[in-house]
Structure 1
Amino acid sequence: MSPSGAPGPLPLVVIPGMLCDESLWSDVVFPEGHEVHHLALTEPDVGEPAEQALSSVDGPFVLVGLSLGAIVGFEALRRAPDRIAGFCAMSTNAGAPRPEQYAMWRAMDQLISDGRFAEVVDTTLPGMFEVSSPSAEWADRYRGMAYAVGPDVARAQLAAQATRTDAFGALRGARCPSVVLHGTRDALCPPDFHRSIAEALPGAGLRELSGAGHLLPWQRPDAVSDALRELLATAERVRPPAHRSPAPCAPSTS
């Protein structure tokens, strides 16, 4: 709240993907004047971080999520569509898990349980980029982020993946401006996933980033920054009058 009691600029709640932390957004320039709240994914289901997102700020906010972070955003939309004033979904999947995904997550969890977390990180690395063998610089940056997340949180994130459900009903019930971003060379979440998401979200914009892979905030930070700036501007413009800061009063002449 501003000193007058009127709401200020919309805050952002930003959620990374699996094996990612706040450093995922280090190259992104967030719109000036808006508070940015980073949410870590540490719980073994998608419902708890969705509730954390909703309780992290008062009133309406703009939710930004990549991959598992966007899936948490879908759950927040399901629970409280009136709270979310704008939504940006990147590199993600709104469908229910497939049998082969459950099997893969169980296998990864077993590897971590056996003390082989580095193997899991190296197994996931190729899917993060537009090429199967990223440069040593990109590989080291990804490994550093994943190791900072650590094996215990990684196991919780794997468990959370398995609690996902089909989110298309929640998307169709959204009441806010939205943008969907994806790389055309994202092997984990291909273009068709994002076209389906954009079709389900009322009035959503779809941005296809040519040649990019999964980690858009690293690979296309300028495009992500531009999309967030435009989304914030639209969300502020269509914000219900009760949630807007009042315009300055003209000086009294009486």
Structure 2
Amino acid sequence: MIVLVPGMLCDADLWTDLVAGLPGPVVHAEITADSIGGMAEQVLSAVEGEFALVGLSLGAIVGFEVARRAPERLNALCALSTNAGAPSPEQLAGWADLGERTRAGGFEEIVGELLPTMFAGSAPHAMRDRFVRMAHRVGPEVFQAQLTAQATRVEAFDAIGALPAPVQAICGDRDALCPPRFHEDIVRHAAPGSSRHVLDGAGHLLTIERPGVVGALLRNRLSSPGAESPVERTAPIAREKSSTRGER
């Protein structure tokens, strides 16, 4: 069983372009609670027994809390575009400001402000519109809960280190929110067999920008118990058939 956990202001459409190729039945988890712990309980209650968790951004942060609470239930953890560190004072202040503005009716304006941080460079209109539609389906009330939840985050390296299952970290080299060094930190603390993949020319919403290569990486991890090479740099989707090369 594979549980997919979306990022902030995202829903199940985040996974549309790759979900059919995943090796097993899929459950889409919702994260609407106002704490990371509450979101982790939502994920744990979405499925019985062992499962693989694939989360992007806030979804992966929730995955780290799932690993803290129920490591025996995770047979794989795939963390995309994320951060296992504790929030900074600047982040806490920023989330509080976004919450106040949302309560004051500024949700649509905020979505527009966040849009440039979701993709690398000038993304096609179809990708941009897709994020906006997801954000509006999630809506301001859930967004406020997600902002409140972000403020309850704690550093997750201890939970990652205690997880017996390997962690796969995937990121874009142009992600302004969660750069590759965040994912290097994750893998350094994780179990043997963990891996980091850096996608050239990609931003934050990898499953929309690079669904082919992300889907292939997830299939490889979730289909095989064997370890991957610890660090790879993967070419953009236009060069997807090229071989990968080790990062220096």
TM normalised by structure 2 equals: 0.87
Counterpart Cα distance in 2 of 1:202 and 1:45: 27
Structure 2 residue corresponding to 1:174, chosen from 163, 166, 176: 163
Q: CA deviation at 1:32?
A: 5.5
Structure 2 CA distance for partners of 1:142 and 1:33, relative to 1, 3 Å: closer
After superposition, the C-alpha distances for 1:169-209 in whole angstroms (9 at most, x for unaligned) are 00101111321000000000011101101111112111110
Q: CA deviation at 1:139?
A: 2.0
**Aligned AA (2:175):** D
RMSD of aligned alpha carbons:
1.5
Check if 1:116 corresponds to 2:106: yes
Counterpart Cα distance in 1 of 2:22 and 2:93: 43
Structure 2 residue runs without a partner (length 5+): 228-248
After superposition, the C-alpha distances for 1:16-56 in whole angstroms (9 at most, x for unaligned) are 00000000001114446611010111110011121122222
The DSSP-based 3-state class of the residue aligned with 1:37 is strand
After superposition, the C-alpha distances for 1:109-132 in whole angstroms (9 at most, x for unaligned) are 11111111011101111110112x
Counterpart Cα distance in 1 of 2:33 and 2:19: 28
More deviation, 29-38/200-209: 29-38
More deviation, 33-42/143-152: 33-42
Contact 2:23 2:223 in 1 (8 A): no
Structure 2 residue corresponding to 1:201, chosen from 190, 195, 203: 190
Q: What residue is the counterpart of 2:148 in the other structure?
A: 159
Counterpart Cα distance in 1 of 2:170 and 2:210: 10
**Aligned AA (1:49):** M
Q: What residue is the counterpart of 2:246 in the other structure?
A: none
Structure 1 residue corresponding to 2:176, chosen from 163, 170, 187: 187
**Aligned AA (1:186):** D
Check if 1:62 corresponds to 2:52: yes
Larger Rg: 1
Check if 1:50 corresponds to 2:28: no
Contact 2:15 2:207 in 1 (8 A): yes
The DSSP-based 3-state class of the residue aligned with 2:87 is coil
Contact 1:177 1:231 in 2 (8 A): no
Contact 1:31 1:232 in 2 (8 A): no
The DSSP-based 3-state class of the residue aligned with 1:150 is helix
Counterpart Cα distance in 1 of 2:2 and 2:111: 29
Q: CA deviation at 1:87?
A: 0.7
Contact 2:31 2:39 in 1 (8 A): yes
Q: What residue is the counterpart of 2:238 in the other structure?
A: none
% identical aligned pairs? 48
Contact 1:177 1:234 in 2 (8 A): no
TM normalised by structure 1 equals: 0.85
After superposition, the C-alpha distances for 1:119-162 in whole angstroms (9 at most, x for unaligned) are 1101111110112x433332222111111110000000000100
Contact 1:71 1:92 in 2 (8 A): yes
Structure 2 CA distance for partners of 1:224 and 1:30, relative to 1, 3 Å: farther
Check if 1:126 corresponds to 2:112: no
More deviation, 48-57/180-189: 48-57
The DSSP-based 3-state class of the residue aligned with 1:182 is strand
Matches within 5 A, 1:125-144: 125-131=115-121, 133-144=122-133
Counterpart Cα distance in 1 of 2:113 and 2:22: 37
Q: What residue is the counterpart of 2:208 in the other structure?
A: 218
Contact 2:30 2:43 in 1 (8 A): no
**Aligned AA (1:67):** S
**Aligned AA (1:206):** R
Contact 1:178 1:231 in 2 (8 A): no
Q: What residue is the counterpart of 1:246 in the other structure?
A: none
Q: What residue is the counterpart of 1:242 in the other structure?
A: none
